[in-house]
Chains A and B, each alone.
Chain A
Amino acid sequence: MDKYRILPHTADGKFQAYGATLEEAFGNAALAMSSFMWDWSKVEPRVRHFVHVRGIDREQLLVKFLGETIYLFETKQFLLAKVDGLRIRPEFEGYSLEALLGGDTLSDRYELFGDVKAVTYNELKIEECGGFTVQVVVDM
């Protein structure tokens, strides 16, 4: 199965990401979003960043998790290549997520071709049907 699929959207970037588990779908969503900005499959994983976010529900958890990737790119010039050990846990109120992001620091060897500036709730969906599908629109 494909990790994700890019969908048409008038103004911005829209995608669906898939996974056998919610964790896998979330991880693939981070790769899908990165694909608007760089070719993650060509990024060598030399640097790692640990991320930990909380959300009042799964939707907010996803928005905040993807927001981490934008934040790491803009402030640390970090290009995501892979997502490891992603774990989602229910909490007293909502959910928490931990993951280890692997990637590299921006340099001349990488090409950037788009700018994702924010993750939105527009048309955001998390669906379970056999596996998991998440759909996200990002602001570009």
Chain B
Amino acid sequence: MELRKISDNVWEIPKQGDMRVPAVIYSSARLLDDIRRDMTLTQARNVACLPGIERMSYVMPDAHQGYGFPIGGVAAFDLDSGIISPGGVGYDINCGVRLLKTDYTETDVAGKRKELLAEIFKEVPAGVGKGGVTKLSRSILKEILVKGAEWAVENGYGRKEDLERTEEYGRMKDAAVDAISDRAMERGLPQLGTLGSGNHFLEIQKVHEVYDEVAARVFGIRAAGQVLVMIHCGSRGFGHQVATDYIEVMENAFGVKGLPDRELVHAPFKSPQGQQYYRSMCAAVNYAFANRQMIAHWVRDVFARVLGSSKGMDQVYDVCHNVAKVETHEAGGRSRRLVVHRKGATRSFGPGRPEIPECYRSVGQPVIIPGSMGTASFILAGTKEAEDLSFSSTAHGAGRVMSRHEAVRRFRGERIRDDLARKGIELKATNWKGVAEEAAEAYKDVDEVVRVSHEVGLGRLVAKVVPIGVMKG
């Protein structure tokens, strides 16, 4: 496939064949080596062929092969002539990250680190097949699907201010429950308020380095050594079932002939199937917001119990990594409403965007990019340039380079625990095989991913954080 170098960190697949627009890859030469090894570029080209796509099919620096769309793929479609695709969002709808700050420093928690982690481990249900502590009725679940994190706050989980510091204020207003299957409801009922497994984790972290003091201060990040908490999880079985259901609905309604990949099945955004998927997806986004809201509340409880107070534990932000949203962007020389798909990508709204809370409007929204388990994570700020570069999007994490199977063959979970302990990182996990699967070596170098993001202007580096305690589902 022809790949044209535009600059050190920007590459283009020129428009060819059925492509309606070119594809653009934001990547260094080093990251591109990984990206070229799997199907990422072919998938980016396939996305460029979809009806109603605007400007470009974008690929973020942490991209790897996904289903239909690549992970790290961003594409926006015209509301009238364009489509919506479950494959452009992913199975774990609103897999995302929430970051809490604390007023504690590394020294304050030094003697209590083990206890904090052990208590969080007890309090937050995690792992394969693990149900939640909250027994829900269907009518309450429906309310949660409509109200998202708002429901959680109304029911005593967390603080009102948390909502303002959550993408969409914790609630996608277009959510509807009338086109959600019984199956999705049944899978959603037992799992609310659980971390899950796979790449999901909860970390107690400390600030390692601050790059942008002004933005850091606005986000509540003071200096190296400050303790933070990061929660990474999604919409659990509920979101997966919504995705599965609507792939089938769209296949049955529109057929699969002519699709380069069945996972690219789509519906016109304004068709009944397109609208039903969109509204059900919004409900799954809300499920995940409520999920992280509950987990954050339990974490604060533990801090209060173990350290005496959780007063300074304000939410920095909560971001979605897998989502489709209707947003206003420039395309074709004018400002338009488009349905932006971000699959394994983070929204990166810069200063002045009305969608972000007033407290962040001077510096841009916080962009939270977790590394792999036990490695550094980064806090970036959204930029104005990202609007033109990527429909206001940047990377979402490190991205895998090694299969789970291979990781389990090469690494031992217990050994990883011991290695982390030597680096001063406590680890608690529900099973060791899962730990081996998430070994740092199985992932791309997140430092390189955020460096490219910063240099290209997709998101500006604000701070680097490192774990001191890791809970793995």
Q: Residues on A close to B: CB < 8 A?
A: 6-14, 37, 56-57, 59-60, 63-64, 67, 70-71, 73-75, 77, 106, 111-115, 117-122, 124, 137, 139-140
Contacts and interface: CB of A to CB of B under 8 A. Distances in A.
Given A8-B405, A60-B248, A121 B198 contact: no
Interface in B201-245: 237, 240-241, 243-244
A11, A13, A60, most chain B CB atoms within 10 A: A11
A121 B65 contact: no
A139 B247 CA distance: 14
Contacts of A113: 128, 431, 433-434
A115 B405 contact: no
B360 interface: no
A64 B67 CA distance: 17
Contacts of A140: 198, 404
B336 interface: no
B183 interface: yes
A56 B244 contact: no
A71 B181 CA distance: 12
B129 A115 contact: yes
B39 to A, nearest CB: 9
Interface in B439-462: none
A54 to B, nearest CB: 10
A111 B431 CA distance: 9
A117 B262 contact: no
Contact of A117 (B183, B237, B248, B404): B237
Contacts of B237: 70, 74, 117
B71 interface: yes
A8 B129 contact: no
Contacts of A56: 251-252
Contacts of B71: 11
Contacts of A111: 431
B431 A112 contact: yes
A53 to B, nearest CB: 10
Given A74-B237, A115-B129, A118-B241, 10 more contacts: A10-B400, A11-B66, A12-B404, A37-B128, A57-B256, A63-B244, A70-B237, A117-B237, A124-B262, A137-B67
Interface in B62-91: 64-68, 71, 91
A26 B190 CA distance: 29
B187 A74 contact: yes
A62 to B, nearest CB: 12
A118 B233 CA distance: 16
Contacts, number: 106
Interface string B252-284: 100010000111000000000000000000000
A73 B183 CA distance: 12
Nearest to A124: B262
Given A8-B403, A106-B129, A115 B190 contact: no
A10 B38 contact: yes
A115 B198 contact: yes
Nearest to A94: B252
8 contacts: A11-B65, A74-B191, A112-B128, A115-B129, A118-B241, A122-B67, A139-B67, A139-B91
A140 B91 CA distance: 10
Interface residues of B, number: 44
B92 interface: yes
Contact of A11 (B240, B247, B262, B400): B400
B327 interface: no
B127 interface: yes
A14 B455 CA distance: 36
Contact of A118 (B38, B68, B186, B240): B240
Contacts of A106: 129
Interface string B404-420: 11100000000000000
Contacts of B252: 56
Contact of B64 (A10, A59, A122): A10
Contacts of B431: 111-113
Interface in B30-79: 38, 64-68, 71
B91 A60 contact: no
Contacts of B433: 113-114
A64 B241 CA distance: 11
B401 interface: yes
Nearest to A12: B404
B391 to A, nearest CB: 24
Nearest to B255: A56
Nearest to A137: B67
B62 to A, nearest CB: 12
Given A10-B64, A10-B403, A12-B404, A118 B91 contact: yes
A6 B91 CA distance: 22
A12 B437 CA distance: 10
Contacts of A74: 129, 186-187, 190-191, 237
Contacts of B243: 118
Given A11-B400, A122-B263, A71 B183 contact: yes
B119 to A, nearest CB: 23
A35 to B, nearest CB: 11
A115 B128 contact: yes
A56 B254 CA distance: 12
Nearest to B234: A117
Contact of B247 (A37, A75, A121): A121
Contacts of A124: 262
A115 B403 contact: no
Given A37-B128, A56-B251, A10 B91 contact: no
A52 B237 CA distance: 21
B196 interface: yes
